[in-house]
Structure 1
Amino acid sequence: MRRAVLTTAALTGALALAGCSGSGSGSGKADLSVSSPYMPQPVSADMAAGFLTITNKGGAKDELTSITSDVAGQVTLHGTVGGAMTEKTSFAIPAHGRLVFESGGNHLMFEKLKHKPKQGQTVTVKLTFARSGPLTVEMPVKSATYNPTTGH
């Protein structure tokens, strides 16, 4: 009986280790993509918010370190915890994980707008990371009251 238990344990351990080996999904580096980008039409003449999701399918973490856009003098990263907003210098993107910027949570602030984007237009943003190459994203401008969960 004891031999059967040890054999089963050894076999289970070997299978677990085999499942951990590189699966071809960039196990040694980040694999980043962006989805659901949008900017609600700004109500202010000099400031706007932006939202998006960054997905990392790779096996290594990365960090969003900055965002730039021709529409704004600067774009800052803001974290929201318990309703309190604070400016951050970077956000971690875990391996096999996501970084979400959403209304009421972490978000982008477009400051010193050079012109006020209008619904139907797009805003180009460049995302810079600590380890991966930059990504350029077209961010559609939605209505000021747009909510992605309702589509309005």
Structure 2
Amino acid sequence: HIWRAVLNLEKEFRNYKEDGFIYPYPSLVIGQIRTLEDGVEATGSCRIPPSVGEETYERWMGLLNSACLEVGAEFKILDYKPAFESSVGLEFVSTCQSLLKEMTGESRLGKLAASTEASVFNRLGIDCLVFGPGQSVGNSHEPNESIMIDDLEAAKEFYVRVIEKVCL
């Protein structure tokens, strides 16, 4: 019954395509299933693009909760971070793009539906950009996840330049 609810949600996610993202649809990821003495525990995350509002997210979680209640299971949301998208017009974002272009010859921004603290800071009025070293897609949260030392050095140099340009 719960699995059917998950499959129905995945079908509905197809109605919320947002171009520009590496994966352009909302997704529900069941990250871990554990057998405990008193039952089974499944944990996961729902990744949503910025075009999906909180009301829609709450409706989706309500559907999962109802499916769980119907079979005597408990459903809990442990954390909610709304989707975040940097505004290309922000001075901070433009500065970061310029620095990236100086360093790499590229200044394009990508989109990734991932849970970061950027959405929390952004709600407080702090301009944000999510940046990190290495290859994320196909590498993070995977067996043998790795980052090349050269990528760490390049990221360190980028952070130094951003601090010098924006903060000092």
Common topology (TM > 0.5): no
Q: Which has the larger radius of gyration?
A: 1
Q: Which has the higher contact order (CA 8 A, sep 6+)?
A: 1
